[in-house]
Structure 1
Amino acid sequence: MASEQTARRVFTGLILLSILLMALVIRPFAKGFFLAAVLAGVLYGLHARLTRRLRGRKNVSAGLICTAVILALLLPVGGLTAFVVAEVTEGAQFVARTVQQEGVEGLVQKLPGPVRKGVERLMERLPVEEAHLDETLQQQVSSRGGTAARAVTGAVAATGSIALQTVMMLIALFFFLTDGRELVRWLESVSPLRPGETLEIMREFRSVSGAVLASSLATAGVQALAALVGFLIVQVPAPLFFAGVAFFMALIPAVGAAIVVLVAAALMFFSGHPWAALFLAVWGTVVVGLVDNIVKPLLAKRGMHQHGAIVFFALLGGLAAFGTVGLLLGPLIVAFFLALVRIHERDYGRNHPRPDSPPTPGRAPPQEADAGGPRGPLTAGPGERH
């Protein structure tokens, strides 16, 4: 028979193999499962209260929450997409109709003043007759149907992939809400850590993920509102559309909502409104751009017991390493590291007595003397200022 050491080695190899195979199985839906776990942690309190109101019907409560998440995703995205498609289609039809009826000269005359002058100078330098140019432009407009079809096909494929991830996320969210308590108990029972340490790490994850989501959404809303005020002041066309785009761009720290305001400023400039463009450029840089640096740290510190600089670099580093999902994954990785350091210092540090050593006379046990673990500059408690 095999020795005990050989059996342990074989079993360890089997465990590693099973982990690898599980990773391959989960990999296609990893982002969806991760977002579902984050949302389940954030929405579990709401789920528990709703379940009590529904007299213990946790499946109905989870279904209502998933439906609310679907509406929160589809309504704004669908509205913005429909607006963009309608505007692009109308613009293409206008260009084709104008070229067919009035020619290129008629289309040029309908352009804004600064753009029209530049196009007229460009046409003067082109050694092409107007009739030939009209015919060429009409051929180009009609021949781009295949290119447009391929672009639409690619967009549909990308949308299908996003839709699949969203469906997997919603399914996982439903089961995380209904069976999340049992899952947490199972993880605590099979974890090799000391009792309570696994739950402490998971509570840290829940606190950080909730703080990141709440602060990101609230900050994006404030920036979109500030951008909307600027759009209304200078009377930008379709201000609600640009404000909606600013909201989504504000969720990406590397881009931000200010870029949308600057694009609107450029459109106002080329449409013959230089002073409005200047106002929008200043408004987007000073007001909309700085709101993120003021509001987000104030909101994030309520749930993230970390220094503001650590949160900032965790967001940017996570975004650079993992893409959009890194906005959540970056702070969670930092929180995981700091939680492990805190647990090690509290339960395994040099000042922690060994199980077989008698307690020092006149000294309180570690749990009573330092119930919350060490508090350094990166792990300040709630409400503490740095």
Structure 2
Amino acid sequence: MYAKLETRTFLAMLLGVSLAFVLLMKPFFGPIFWAVAMAVIFHPVERLLERRLGDRPNLNALITLAIGIVIVVIPVLGLGAALIAEGMGVYQQIQEGEIRPGEYIDQINESFPAIQAFLAQFDVNFGELRDRAVSAFLGGSQFLAKQALGIGQNTFQFFLALALMVYLTFFLIRDGQKLIELLIRALPLGDERERLLFAKFAEVTRATVKGNLLIAVIQGALGGLIFWVLGITGALLWGVVMAVVSLLPAVGAAIVWVPVALYLAAIGEAIPALVLTGYGVVVIGLADNLLRPIFVGRDTKMPDYLVLLSTLGGIVVFGINGFVMGPLVAALFMAFWGIFIREFGHEAHLAAQTDVSAREDASTRES
């Protein structure tokens, strides 16, 4: 009796200390999460270096980290800096009256009155829709301006988080396999199940980060290129914006290039409008439709609609980190239920068959 009390007390204190530790680490959630993601993505590189250079964990981890910084960290920082700088420029132009998004929407409405008539069939007020679009545009540019100001005021905090992420990534690359084995020994889920879940975690993280970021860069580059060729103002900004919104499956860059194509048609630029429309549908659209199932859906073994819903839900719940965490939660959900159905569902089926056989034998004896 006393031994049971000791065990329960210990488990309660273990749970309490674990929760306290999680709360302690909560301010560093972003750096920790991305350090884990970086370590998972570049783990194959570390294994390759281990085969080539031998068992030199510090050197292998350092080289792997340097490769990760060059491939991922520096381009992402450059992309973010370009987005904020261009957004600041657009915000200033809006404030000075050089850019008037409301007038652009009114121009589209005047040139294509059928749009307003079509929306009226669904009881959608074009005026309200216009005001919301203008507010969203102004809010987006203001948000970028605030982010630029915030980063300028919190430069030390930003680079501290970045340095913490890089620091943790080094140790996770070097000691990641040992940590996984330690967790497998500690967690009371069964070693086989835990290995399956860790493998699914690595698979989904690698697929979503690698796939989504690669697709975003490709679509942003393609969109920015056609805007530059057509002489559209702010091609770099719109390319970066298309890269960001490309993180949303099935919607993505069309949020940007479709309104621009409509505006070009509204002001009489028929050929650029047709070129942009054809390019957007064929080149940008196919880049998303062909590459996303290959890089994301295939590796995660999740249907496209689940990838879309989990990505959108993840962004709503977790913010920008949600484009990875959403599909990750969905994949783990499917993995847990797969284990349950395979193990407990099979046992329940055997028990039901045994029960039916017993009833049939009892009925036979009675007759």
TM-score (norm 1): 0.65
Which of 249, 256, 278 matches 2:273? Answer: 278
SS in 2 for 1:301: helix
**Alpha-carbon distance in structure 2 between the residues aligned to 1:332 and 1:79:** 24
- Alpha-carbon deviations, 1:328-376, whole Å to 9, x = none? 111111221221222223333343799xxxxxxxxxxxxxxxxxxxxxx
Q: CA deviation at 1:225?
A: 4.1
Superposed counterparts of 1:236-315, under 5 Å: 236=232, 239=235, 242-253=238-249, 256-261=252-257, 274-275=269-270, 278-279=273-274, 282-283=277-278, 286-287=281-282, 288-289=284-285, 291-315=287-311
Which of 158, 166, 174 matches 2:162? Answer: 166
- Alpha-carbon deviations, 1:176-215, whole Å to 9, x = none? 1100111111111112122321111100111111221232
1:81 corresponds in structure 2 to: 81
Q: CA RMSD in A?
A: 4.0
Q: 1:150 to 1:286 in 2, by over 3 A?
A: closer
Q: 1:84 to 1:340 in 2, by over 3 A?
A: closer
Q: 1:324 to 1:87 in 2, by over 3 A?
A: closer
Q: 1:70 to 1:347 in 2, by over 3 A?
A: same
CA contact (8 A) 1:266 1:277 kept: no
Q: CA deviation at 1:65?
A: 2.6
Aligned residues: 306
1:189 corresponds in structure 2 to: 185
Q: 1:152 to 1:352 in 2, by over 3 A?
A: closer
Code of the residue aligned with 2:77 in structure 1: it is V
**Alpha-carbon distance in structure 2 between the residues aligned to 1:252 and 1:159:** 29
Code of the residue aligned with 1:335 in structure 2: it is A
1:214 corresponds in structure 2 to: 210
Q: CA deviation at 1:249?
A: 3.4
CA contact (8 A) 1:258 1:284 kept: no
1:329 matched to 2:328? The reply is no
Code of the residue aligned with 1:33 in structure 2: it is I
CA contact (8 A) 1:232 1:239 kept: yes
Return 201-210 or 2-11, whichever deviates more: 2-11
Return 282-291 or 164-173, whichever deviates more: 282-291
Q: 1:254 to 1:166 in 2, by over 3 A?
A: farther
Code of the residue aligned with 2:67 in structure 1: it is A
- Alpha-carbon deviations, 1:59-108, whole Å to 9, x = none? 22222232333333234533763696499679979x99xxxxxxxxxx99
Q: CA deviation at 1:168?
A: 2.1
Q: CA deviation at 1:323?
A: 1.1
**Alpha-carbon distance in structure 2 between the residues aligned to 1:176 and 1:150:** 34
Code of the residue aligned with 1:49 in structure 2: it is L
- Alpha-carbon deviations, 1:268-322, whole Å to 9, x = none? 789x773366346635763435643443123323311222222221111111111
**Alpha-carbon distance in structure 2 between the residues aligned to 1:277 and 1:239:** 14
CA contact (8 A) 1:230 1:283 kept: no
1:351 matched to 2:347? The reply is yes
Superposed counterparts of 1:70-149, under 5 Å: 70-71=69-70, 72-75=72-75, 77-78=77-78, 81=81, 85=85
Q: 1:336 to 1:81 in 2, by over 3 A?
A: closer
CA contact (8 A) 2:204 2:327 kept: yes
Code of the residue aligned with 1:344 in structure 2: it is F
Q: CA deviation at 1:170?
A: 1.6
Q: Please, which runs of 5 or more residues in structure 1 have no aligned partner?
A: 97-106, 119-148, 355-386
Q: 1:87 to 1:17 in 2, by over 3 A?
A: closer
Q: 1:80 to 1:327 in 2, by over 3 A?
A: closer
Q: CA deviation at 1:219?
A: 2.0
Instruction: Quote the sequence identity (%).
Output: 25
Q: CA deviation at 1:21?
A: 0.8
SS in 2 for 1:193: coil
CA contact (8 A) 2:248 2:308 kept: no
2:2 corresponds in structure 1 to: 3
1:319 matched to 2:297? The reply is no
**Alpha-carbon distance in structure 2 between the residues aligned to 1:69 and 1:180:** 16
**Alpha-carbon distance in structure 1 between the residues aligned to 2:90 and 2:38:** 39
1:129 corresponds in structure 2 to: none
Code of the residue aligned with 1:50 in structure 2: it is L
TM-score (norm 2): 0.68
SS in 2 for 1:303: helix
1:380 corresponds in structure 2 to: none
CA contact (8 A) 1:262 1:280 kept: no
Larger Rg: 1
2:122 corresponds in structure 1 to: none
